[in-house]
């Protein structure tokens, strides 16, 4: 059976197509059956949330270019639909497309809090900050009803375990009753991702994430509640949103952000074709200029997987972005050094008494 995978933008979605993942055992192709283009209603794809029981919940890494070695991801797939998302290729392992499948098929780890409690109670566990939002957003739309992220936070705060949150979702404000007391003890920090302020560009790049102005307001509200909050200008895309770098930093600083970081766009695996197709649909006249600039920062390739350089890029254009970022941060008074979160307050969950 041949499946029809139509191309073209879908309302409220980031990817313009649904290509096969790199591990797919069968390929598909579009076929014209004489009915012409589908109507607008049929092109609106619903979101399917699949509740699943995970086998483990704390993921560990030894990457030298990320500021954490432990993370928890309550969801796989992300309805925010950011077309550039580096997590898209992860769905290929499930034989699903990193394209539209990634943002319409969401896997919710309903036992995340239970697993976390068990793993924190293990005798061999050693406390270090846990990052929420390292892969997919913990405050994507499904969280409003499922409250898995909130359950995870309840475990962390009950154990006085340090954590960071990275999100594009204003829904994080809902959990201030948990986050603010933890922050007062030196256990919590939040980063709000704001790649650009232009609402029209954001609507196309990140169709179901909170609007940029709303994210700036979230920074203001988190800061007012006493939560150390930073801004993550990521990704910076040359000739598309890089012109807003200083404006984003200024808006975030005015709202109360104390730290800042940036990441240049990287295009691993299937993301390179998805992003090229997105440019062809929304910015056809800039397509080659943007792609050539990305390759210039990646040593002539679409993606440079090497540690450190994968985040900042290399070459004259990458160096210019880094200098602009550093200069703006100095002028605006962002902290150059982040205060370490405390690990000495950690209290393991109560272990069940062993039976003899």
- pLDDT at 351 (0 to 100): 60
- pLDDT at 130 (0 to 100): 97
> How large is the average pLDDT for residues 195-211?
95
- pLDDT at 338 (0 to 100): 81
- State the distance between the two ends of the chain, measured CA to CA, in whole angstroms: 58
- pLDDT at 356 (0 to 100): 42
Instruction: Look at the domain 48-332 and name its fold.
Output: TIM Barrel (3.20.20)
**What letters, b where the CB count within 10 A reaches 16 and e where it falls short, cover 225-255?**
bebbbbbbbbbbbbebbbebbbebbebbbeb
Question: pLDDT confidence of 339, banded at 50, 70, 90?
Answer: confident
- pLDDT at 299 (0 to 100): 83
Domain boundaries, the chain: 48-332
> How large is the average pLDDT for residues 255-268?
94
Would the CA dihedral through 293, 298, 299, 302 be positive or negative?
A: negative
Would the CA dihedral through 251, 254, 257, 260 be positive or negative?
A: positive
Q: Is 23 exposed, middle or buried (0-12, 13-18, 19+ CB in 10 A)?
A: exposed
* Of 127-131, 162-166, 299-303, the least confident: 299-303
Please indicate, yes or no, whether the overall pTM of this predicted structure exceeds 0.75.
Answer: yes
Q: What is the pLDDT of residues 226-255, one digit of tens each?
A: 999 999 999 999 999 999 999 999 999 999
Q: What is the pLDDT of residues 278-333, one digit of tens each?
A: 999 999 999 999 999 999 998 888 777 776 666 778 889 999 999 999 999 999 99
Phi then psi dihedrals of residue 243, to 5 deg: -65, -20
The answer, yes or no, to whether the previous bond of 235 is cis (omega within 30 of 0) is: yes
Q: Are 237 and 265 in contact (CB under 8 A)?
A: yes
Whether 17 has a pLDDT exceeding 70, the answer reads no
Tokens of 241: 């949103």
- pLDDT at 301 (0 to 100): 81
> How large is the average pLDDT for residues 99-103?
90
CB-based contacts of 348, cutoff 8 Å, min separation 6: 120, 121, 125, 159
């Amino acid at each position: 059976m041949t499946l029809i995978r139509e191309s073209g933008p879908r309302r409220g979605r980031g990817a313009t197509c649904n290509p096969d993942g790199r591990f797919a055992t069968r390929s598909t192709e579009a076929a014209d059956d004489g009915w012409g283009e589908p109507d607008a209603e049929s092109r609106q794809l619903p979101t399917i949330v699949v509740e699943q029981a995970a086998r483990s919940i704390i993921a560990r890494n030894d990457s030298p270019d990320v500021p954490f070695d432990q993370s928890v991801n309550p969801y796989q797939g992300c309805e925010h639909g950011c077309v550039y998302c580096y997590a898209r290729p992860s769905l290929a392992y499930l034989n699903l497309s990193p394209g539209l499948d990634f943002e319409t098929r969401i896997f919710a780890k309903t036992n995340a809090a239970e697993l976390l409690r068990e793993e924190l109670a293990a005798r061999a566990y050693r406390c270090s900050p846990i990052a929420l939002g390292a892969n997919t957003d913990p405050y994507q739309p499904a969280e409003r009803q499922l409250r898995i992220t909130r359950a995870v936070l309840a475990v962390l705060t009950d154990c006085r375990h340090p954590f960071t949150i990275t999100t594009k979702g204003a829904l994080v404000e809902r959990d201030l009753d948990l986050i603010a007391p933890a922050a007062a003890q030196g256990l919590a920090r939040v980063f709000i991702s704001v790649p650009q302020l232009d609402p029209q560009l954001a609507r196309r790049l990140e169709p179901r994430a909170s609007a940029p102005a709303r994210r700036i307001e979230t920074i203001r509200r988190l800061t007012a509640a006493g939560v150390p909050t930073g801004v993550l200008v990521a990704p910076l895309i040359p000739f598309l949103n890089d012109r807003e770098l200083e404006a984003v930093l200024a808006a975030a600083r005015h709202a109360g952000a104390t730290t800042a970081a940036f990441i240049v766009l990287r295009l691993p695996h299937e993301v390179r074709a998805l992003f090229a197709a997105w440019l062809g649909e929304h910015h056809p006249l800039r397509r080659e200029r943007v792609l050539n600039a990305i390759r210039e920062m990646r040593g002539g390739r679409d993606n440079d997987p090497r540690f450190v350089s994968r985040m900042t890029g290399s070459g004259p254009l990458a160096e210019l972005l880094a200098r602009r970022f550093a200069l703006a941060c100095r002028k605006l008074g962002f902290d150059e050094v982040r205060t370490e979160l405390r690990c000495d307050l950690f209290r393991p969950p109560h272990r069940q008494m062993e039976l003899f």
